[in-house]
Chain A
Amino acid sequence: MGISDSVELENELRKIADYIVALRREIAVLQANEMHMKKIPAAGQELAAVVSSTEGATNEIMAIAENVMSADASDPAGYKAFVDKEMMAIFESCAFQDLTGQRISRVVKTLEHIEARVSRFATYTGVQDEAGHANEAEADAAARRERLLLNGPSIADEGNTQPDIDRLLAALKGL
């Protein structure tokens, strides 16, 4: 190997070393440990709390509605007092919305935090996405969703409304 070859090799190795140092810095900025140990679990807990509180409030409101529907209305004054009391209880139950709104805002902030870091990392590394799944369970779940058409609730303008579905069913009548 000549001197010029050695210099060229040294330069190449230096570039690789610089790239590795920069990549380590980008990985550190990604804060992957904080993401999977703190931020994502915290967001999951927030969403679980949202599900729990909305379910709780819904059940409270339904119980009140059931009470009102089954109440004795033979004494109008007593019935009105009872209904007024139950309506106040509905207003109280609706207070859940303030808390769930705050929880969801925190989850949105977490998603924005993750998006900013992942986006920066993807831009820096320039890596192309590879098709496939992270593990067998993820692949099985995706295959099940596709096979059983588990699309979930549609975002506005994506799915059909009830009148659309009625028209579709009418068109498919011969099936």
Chain B
Amino acid sequence: MAADTHMPILVVDDYKTMIRIIRNLLKQLGFEDVDEAADGKEALGKLKEKKYGLVISDWNMEPMTGYELLREVRSDPGLSKTPFIMVTAESKTENVVAAKKAGVNNYIVKPFNAATLKNKIDAVFAPAA
């Protein structure tokens, strides 16, 4: 199953520049319905108001990090199935392991390119082998 290009996507990053980059890359991939949030707390509020098909989140933000957002999402029965991709400069093994344990669907390390973003989104929505 390919990703539905009509699904709403929530991009969470405290750098407007990065949101603009991801938004443009998503647009090139055919995704037009993209909302944004500047940190985990704002994202959580938006997730409770609207059903998103995918969350693409940075890790290092204040006051709520992307890691905390991921744990909140996975512990909320109404949100727990929402696909979640971490896009972050945090590239240490402990970060990847913690994110995986918390239920992340995929993990992209910054800087990244359009092909990587596309591959990771496709992998999240690919049928389980």
Task: Give chain A's interface residues, CB within 8 Å of chain B.
Answer: 55, 58-59, 62, 65-66, 148-154, 158-162, 165, 168-169, 172, 175
Q: Are A149 and B17 in contact (CB under 8 A)?
A: no
Known: A149-B67, A175-B100, A175-B101. A59 touches B92 (CB 8 A): no
Q: Are B93 and A168 in contact (CB under 8 A)?
A: yes
Q: Are A160 and B20 in contact (CB under 8 A)?
A: no
Q: Are A152 and B89 in contact (CB under 8 A)?
A: yes
Query: Given the complex, which residues of A lie within 8 Å of B90, measured CB to CB?
Result: 149-153, 159
Total A-B residue contacts, Cβ distance less than 8 Å: 71
Query: Given the complex, which residues of B lie within 8 Å of A168, measured CB to CB?
Result: 93, 96-97, 100
- Among B17, B68, B92, B100, which residue has its beta carbon within 8 angstroms of that of A160? B92
Question: Could you tell me the distance in whole angstroms from the C-beta of A131 to the nearest C-beta in chain B?
Answer: 22
- Among B95, B106, B116, which residue has its beta carbon within 8 angstroms of that of A149? B95
Known: A62-B21, A172-B97. A165 touches B109 (CB 8 A): yes
- Among B20, B97, B100, B112, which residue has its beta carbon within 8 angstroms of that of A59? B20
Query: Given the complex, which residues of B lie within 8 Å of A160, measured CB to CB?
Result: 91-93, 96, 109
Q: Is B107 an interface residue (CB 8 A)?
A: yes
What is the CA–CA distance of A172 and B101 in the complex, to the nearest angstrom? 9
> Chain B: how many interface residues by the 8 Å CB criterion?
28
Q: Is B43 an interface residue (CB 8 A)?
A: no
What is the CA–CA distance of A107 and B72 in the complex, to the nearest angstrom? 40
> Which residues of B in the span 23-63 have a Cβ within 8 Å of any Cβ on A?
24, 59-60
> Which residue, B65, B98, B109, has most C-beta atoms of chain A within 10 A?
B109
Query: Given the complex, which residues of B lie within 8 Å of A153, measured CB to CB?
Result: 89-91, 110
Query: Given the complex, which residues of B lie within 8 Å of A152, measured CB to CB?
Result: 60, 89-90
Question: Can you name 15 A-B residue pairings with CB atoms under 8 Å?
Answer: A59-B17, A65-B24, A149-B90, A149-B92, A149-B95, A149-B98, A151-B90, A152-B60, A152-B89, A152-B90, A153-B110, A154-B89, A159-B91, A159-B92, A165-B107
Query: Given the complex, which residues of B lie within 8 Å of A159, measured CB to CB?
Result: 90-92, 109
Q: Closest chain A residue to B94 by CB distance?
A: A149
Query: Given the complex, which residues of B lie within 8 Å of A62, measured CB to CB?
Result: 17, 20-21, 24
Query: Given the complex, which residues of A lie within 8 Å of B100, measured CB to CB?
Result: 168-169, 172, 175
Q: Is B9 an interface residue (CB 8 A)?
A: no
What is the CA–CA distance of A165 and B99 in the complex, to the nearest angstrom? 11
Query: Given the complex, which residues of B lie within 8 Å of A148, measured CB to CB?
Result: 65, 67-68
Q: A62-B24, A148-B65, A165-B109 are in contact. List 20 more A-B contacts (CB 8 A).
A: A59-B20, A62-B20, A65-B24, A66-B24, A149-B94, A152-B60, A153-B90, A153-B110, A154-B89, A159-B90, A159-B91, A160-B91, A160-B92, A160-B96, A162-B109, A165-B107, A168-B93, A169-B100, A172-B97, A172-B100
